[in-house]
Amino acid sequence: MLTRPKRYLGIRSEDRRTIQPREYGLLVITGLALLVLIARLWYLQVLHGEELTARAELVRTRLIRIPPPRGLIVDRQGRTLATNRAQIVISVLPDQLRRNPRRIPLVADRLKISPDELRVLVMNPRINPYVPLVVRKGVAYAEAVDLLESQYNLPEVEVSLQAMRWYPYGKLFAHVVGYVGQISEEELKAYQAMASREWPETDGESPLAIRSLYDGTDLVGKGGLEREYERYLHGMPGGEQVEVTPLGKRVRTLQQLEPVPGARLVLSLDAKLQQRAYELLQGHVGALVALDPRTGEVLACVSQPAFDPNLFVPRIPASIWRSLLNDPRAPLNNRAIQSAYAPGSIFKPFVALAGLETGVLTTHSSIVCPGGYQSGRRFFRCWRRHGYVEFYNSIALSCDTFYYIAAQKLGPERLAHWSRVFGLGALTGIDLPHERKGLVPDPEWKRQTFKQPWFGGETLSYGIGQGYLLTTPLQMAVATMGIANRGVIYRPHLVRQIIAPDGRVLYTAKPEVIHRVQAAPAHWDAVIEGMVRVVERGTARRAQIAGVQVAGKTGSAEFRKGGKTHSWFIAFAPAENPRVVLCVIAEEAGHGSEVAVPIAAEWLKTFFQQPETSSATPAF
pLDDT tens digits, one per residue of 211-249: 568 888 789 999 999 999 999 999 998 888 888 776 666
The residue ranges of DSSP E strands in 501-548, in sequence order, are 505-508, 513-516
pLDDT given at position 591? 78
Pick among 3.90.1150.10, 3.30.420.40, 3.40.710.10, 3.40.718.10: CATH of 271-306+335-609: 3.40.710.10
In angstroms, the CA 604 to CA 290 distance is 10
| 160 is annotated as an active-site residue | no
Question: 35: burial class by Cβ within 10 Å (0-12, 13-18, 19+)?
Answer: exposed
Whole-number Å distance between alpha carbons of 586 and 406: 28
- Confirm if 203 and 191 have CB atoms less than 8 A apart: no
What span, in angstroms and rounded, lies between the C-alpha atoms of 142 and 131?
Answer: 25
> Which H helix or E strand runs over 250?
strand 250-257
Residue 8 has pLDDT above 50, yes or no: no
Q: What is the pLDDT of residues 78-111, one digit of tens each?
A: 999 999 998 888 999 898 899 999 999 999 999 9
Does residue 355 carry a pLDDT above 90? yes
Q: Where are the domains of the chain?
A: 63-267, 271-306+335-609
Cβ 515 vs Cβ 482: under 8 Å: yes
What mean pLDDT value characterizes the chain? 88
- Looking at mean pLDDT, say which of 90-94, 185-189, 600-604 comes out highest: 600-604
Over residues 20-34, the pLDDT tens digits come to: 666 666 665 666 667
The predicted-structure confidence for 192-208, as pLDDT tens digits, reads as follows: 877 554 334 333 333 44
Q: Looking at residues 49-61, what average pLDDT do you find?
A: 57
pLDDT at 285: 97
63-267 CATH: 3.90.1310.10
Position 197 scores a pLDDT of 44
pLDDT at residue 4, rounded to an integer: 37
Q: What is the mean pLDDT of residues 487-507?
A: 98
Residue 530: CB partners within 8 Å, gap ≥ 6? 349, 352, 391, 392, 393, 394, 395, 396
Distances (CA, A) of 387 to 300, 309, 369, 400, 530: 40, 53, 5, 12, 18
- Greater confidence (361 vs 45) lies with 361
Q: How far is CA 394 from the centre of its chain?
A: 41
Q: What predicted TM-score, i.e. pTM, was given to this entire model? A: 0.84
pLDDT score of 564 = 81
- According to the model, what pLDDT value does residue 257 have? 87
Measured CA to CA, the distance from residue 249 to residue 152 in angstroms comes to: 12
Task: Over range 349-354, report the average pLDDT.
Answer: 99
- Bond prior to 314 in cis (omega within 30° of 0): yes
State the catalytic residue, choosing from 91, 303, 345, 556. 345
pLDDT of residue 612: 78
At residue 51, does pLDDT exceed 70?
no
Task: Name residue 217's amino acid.
Answer: T
Higher-confidence residue: 94 or 45? 94
Confidence of residue 268 (pLDDT cuts 50, 70, 90): very high
pLDDT at site 134? 87
pLDDT band of 19, cuts 50, 70, 90? low
